[in-house]
Amino acid sequence: MSTRRETVRQALTGCTGFRSAQDLYADLRAGGSKIGLTTVYRALQALSDSGEVDVLRTDDGEAVYRACDSEAHHHHLVCRKCSTAVEIEGPAVEEWAAEVGARHGFTGVTHTVEVFGTCAECARS
């Protein structure tokens, strides 16, 4: 329950899209905070470890985070331009993944599923 971690969590909660550690650090500094970059990284690490935020990797390997509404397992529909994300569910996909894994004799099957596109907002401009 550190103050800094809470600061980072709130900064992230105020965003609709995925943000990188560097982004959040810049946001916080711009907002007057004296937080250090290392602390932002540590906070995000802790938050994602505890499952409070979701992480994914951009095409160029950068980690981006999001504070989602749902605590349950879900996926994302992410805008390629503004990175805004919508939480989505796909029961059929869950089953398919588990089934395909089992069929090939794999155990402890998990999956990553993300959908990308250009949101209506960005398509306009």
- Of the candidate spans 38-46, 67-75, 79-87, 100-108, the one that interacts with DNA by CB under 7 A turns out to be 38-46
- Tell which one of 15, 26, 56, 63 touches DNA (CB under 7 A): 63
Contact 33, 43 (CB under 8 A): no
- 40-66 burial string, b = 16+ CB within 10 Å, else e? bbbbbeebeeeebbbebeeeeeebbbb
Residue identified by tokens 């796909």 is: 90
Nearest to 3, CA basis, from 27, 35, 48, 30: 35
Question: 71, 73, 120, 125: which one contacts a copy of itself (CB under 8 A)?
Answer: 120
Query: Residue 120 binds which one of DNA, a copy of itself, none, with CB within 5 to 8 A depending on kind?
Result: a copy of itself
Contact partner at residue 45 from DNA, a copy of itself, none, CB < 5 to 8 Å by partner kind:
DNA
Among 13, 16, 38, 70, binds DNA (CB under 7 A): 38
